[in-house]
Amino acid sequence: MTAPPTTSAAIQRIFALARKERATATQAIRGMTLDHQVALVCGTPLSRRAKILELLPAPEAVIPLIPEAELCFTVKAIGIEDAAWVLELATPEQVVACMDLDGWRGTAADRAAIDRWIDTLAMMTTDAFLRSIRALDPELVVLFLKHRVRCFQKPDDDDGWQPPEGGLTVEGQFYFVAVSEGDDLEPIVAMLRALFAADYWVYFRMMQGIIHELDIVNEEWALRWRTGRLEDLGFPPWDRAMGIYQFIRREDRTAISDEAASFDVGEWHLPVWMPSLPASADHQHLLFRTLAQLDESERHSALYAFIALANKVAVADRMELSDAESTPIAIDKAADFASVGLEFISTELGLNAADVLRRVPLQRLFSVGANLQPERAKPCDKQNT
């Protein structure tokens, strides 16, 4: 991970060039490395990201490198229904992450959100659609289909069988009708036709699933797969994330390690764009003022430890993980209460804040701060589970 290669001034320069001559702006971007182009996209306000994506000389090289949550924020800012061209260039893993982040509310599948995403995937070219739909959990796809259609299989031994009135079919064996009157099934037809042509057994499993599988079972399995993937992105399950609010007895709040090991944190894949921490001597939070006193390698390790803490705050407080506003809120709360804990321990023990930071894990500092100010730290439950 490198320092952010673009600044707000650089972004403004690109947009100023685009207003005068689009080709000139594109040429300026072409001179950047791919890392710089990714930073340009992620550093651009969400309301203007569509325009910066349109200026990229080779968006097919840049979009797959955008962190998963950032891509989700970007697609939602553009409008999911209008972002098929972006998703077409995304990797299957990015598409799955978008669904993991935005397709659920708490531990319940959000059927309306899933509909929007899969309907948009159906607008893509056949190859791109198949890559994405095969990457999604089959249980989730069956949930989507059952939410939209009822399916009937033509029996082999009933020559007099008639398909349901208005029933649609792509191969003469399975017929389906809309669950909701007036629902436009064109995306469903396109999806099933592509699956039937490219992978009959996946198609067969989906149609059988609509008829025979139970929603509650499919949702439970889809949730299990999603939980594991979110852990890989640094978002632990809610019950584990709530450990940041553990009760700490007064006499234990100043416990401190004899060894400097609090930043012994390995690198992991960050789902958001945050190349460095806002460490500065005049920052409002003591934590970031103290980080400015550390050497570069310590700050580098602190980045991963801090983002892990902020992710736990987001999960524990049930923030919308697909909402771009959740990230700064979680970061600010993590820094706020870690600073409270850091100041308390430093003052009580008469130690330099940097020494405390090296010897007390960030999550412990946050927990101490939350214990000191429990009412202010109380998790804000923003989702219904």
pLDDT, tens digit (0-9, with 9 covering 90-100), for 4-17: 445 567 777 888 88
pLDDT digits 0-9 by tens, 178-217? 999 888 898 899 899 999 999 899 999 999 999 999 999 9
pLDDT digits 0-9 by tens, 340-378? 999 999 999 999 999 999 999 999 999 999 999 999 998
Domain coordinates in residue numbering, the chain:
1-65, 67-231, 234-377
Please report which confidence band the pLDDT of residue 320 belongs to, taking 50, 70 and 90 as the band edges: very high
Determine how many CB atoms are found less than 10 A away from the CB of residue 153.
14
Tokens for 43, please give them.
């550093």
User: Please, are residues 67 and 270 in contact by the beta-carbon 8 Å criterion?
Assistant: yes
> Cα separation of 166 and 163, whole Å?
8
Say if residue 3's pLDDT is above 60: no
Q: Which residues contact 234 (CB under 8 A, 6 or more apart)?
A: 268, 269, 270, 271, 307, 308, 311
Say if residue 312's pLDDT is above 50: yes
Give, for 114, the enclosing helix (H) or strand (E). helix 111-121
Tokens for 133, please give them.
């739909």
> Cα separation of 74 and 367, whole Å?
33
User: Please, are residues 259 and 179 in contact by the beta-carbon 8 Å criterion?
Assistant: no
Alpha carbon separation from 246 to 140, 363, 371 (Å, rounded): 34, 10, 8
SS3 173: coil
Polymer length in residues for the chain: 385
Q: Which residues contact 243 (CB under 8 A, 6 or more apart)?
A: 312, 363, 367
- CA 142 from chain centre, in angstroms, equals 22
Mean pLDDT for the stretch of residues 126-141: 94
- Give the torsion sign (CA, 317, 323, 326, 331): positive
User: Please, are residues 99 and 119 in contact by the beta-carbon 8 Å criterion?
Assistant: no
